[in-house]
Amino acid sequence: MRLNRTIPQRTRVWIGALSESHIGYHGTDYTIMIDGGKTRIGTGSACTIYAGYFVLQTVTEHLNPPYTNDGSALVHPPPGASDERLIEIYPNRPKSVDWPPTPFTEYGPTGIEVLMARWRTGEKTDKINNNASA
């Protein structure tokens, strides 16, 4: 985006509401594996920004050469409270949005921590090396 001012391929964006006012940012990186975890084909980044009663979540996947796909998402979060509380606005742009959606709460199964942990689906690693040969 910095070089050509366009949203990168394989980027998804959701918006949602919070029941309490917050300000902050939470981000996490992940690897994209195939062949049962034997071959690493790329990385992804998930970002959650919350400001006041508004929350924005973005996820972008980057594939290492020579791997390509049609631009569709390769990694999806498990089903949960986020599915009914977030509205996808990119790349699928709705004609209208009923606002506000059901908000994320302060704690519990619909709490803001559930939203921040939405993309923690695999095994924890100490560091992701962005070198394609790693």
Count of Cβ atoms closer than 10 Å to residue 91 Cβ = 14
Write down the mean pLDDT value for the chain.
86
- The Cα–Cα gap between 85 and 100 comes to 9
Cβ contact 127:50 at 8 Å: no
Q: How confident is the model at residue 101 (pLDDT cuts 50, 70, 90)?
A: very high
44-84: pLDDT as tens digits: 999 999 999 999 999 999 998 888 877 778 888 888 889 99
- The Cα–Cα gap between 20 and 53 comes to 6
List CB contacts of 115: < 8 A, sequence separation 6 or more.
16, 48, 55, 57, 81, 82, 85, 86, 104
Taking the CA atoms of residue 84, residue 10, residue 33 and residue 128 in that order, the dihedral angle to the nearest 10 degrees is -100
Count of Cβ atoms closer than 10 Å to residue 114 Cβ = 17
- Say if residue 133's pLDDT is above 70: no
Verdict on whether the full-model pTM lies above 0.85: no
pLDDT of residue 127: 60
